[in-house]
Amino acid sequence: MPLGTEFYIKEGMISNDLRNVDTNKDGKLDHFYFSIWNQKLHAKEPLGNIRKITLRIDGEEIEPNRIYFVVRDQWFCIEQLPSISDVWWMLREEAQIYVKQDGGIKSGIHNVEIIMENQAFPFYSKGIRPAPTLNLQSEMRTV
């Protein structure tokens, strides 16, 4: 296992774009999303290793039940992620973070902060070990 404190290569890990979408094709925007690439040093892993995702848009925290992790067109509400052991996120594979929001997100530049707690080794002699945390931030433009 690698030494150090950072378990990912930060540069290029999230996109600079926010995209509004009409996922159910009813003519109304209902979600917006951005992309995230798996640049963790030990990249290939089950989604369950992602124990928690916190997302803030312009400083406001989004409720977990509105956030979806989408990989290979499979949608997972982030509250379910820790229990997923049979779907893997591959080395530098692109996934998307979707946020449910009627009307999408307002055009312009938004500050996006995503914090991902990742835990491959949950146990140790003292109990449950603290999770290494990935913290990404970007000014994203709607397109």
Partner 1 sequence: MKATISVGMWSLKQYSLKGTKTFDEILETVAEINPDKHIDLMEDYVPCHSQTDMYELLQLKKRIESFGLVINSNWFYTDLIGRVHIQGFEYVVNDLKEYVIVVAALGAKFMNTPLDSALLPGMMYEEAYGLYIKIYEEIIPFAEEHNVIIGIDTGLSEEWCSPITALKLVKDIGSDYLTTTPDFEAWRTPTEDMPGVFIETPGSEEKTEALPLDVFKECLPYSPLMHAKFLTFDENGEEPNYPIAEMMALIKQSNREHTFVIEYEGWIPDINPHLDPAVETKKGIDLLKRYLG
Structure tokens at 63: 């409720």
Question: Should residue 106 be labelled a site residue for partner 1 when binding is judged by CB under 8 A?
Answer: no
Indicate the SS3 state at residue 67.
Answer: strand
Closer residue to partner 1 (CB): 21 or 87 = 87
Residue 68 to residue 23: CA distance in whole angstroms: 13
Closer residue to partner 1 (CB): 16 or 101 = 16
Question: Should residue 27 be labelled a site residue for partner 1 when binding is judged by CB under 8 A?
Answer: no
Beta-bridge partner residues of 35: 96
Write the CB contacts of 25 (distance below 8 Å, at least 6 apart in sequence). none
Question: Which of the ranges 21-29, 67-75, 81-89, 100-108 carries the binding residues for partner 1, by CB under 8 A?
Answer: 81-89
Contact status, residue 34 vs residue 7, Cβ threshold 8 Å: no
Question: Should residue 83 be labelled a site residue for partner 1 when binding is judged by CB under 8 A?
Answer: no
Residue 24 to residue 96: CA distance in whole angstroms: 17
Question: Should residue 115 be labelled a site residue for partner 1 when binding is judged by CB under 8 A?
Answer: no
Closer residue to partner 1 (CB): 15 or 39 = 39
- List residues near partner 1 by CB under 8 A: 1-12, 37, 39, 41-44, 46, 85-88, 90-92, 120-127, 129-132
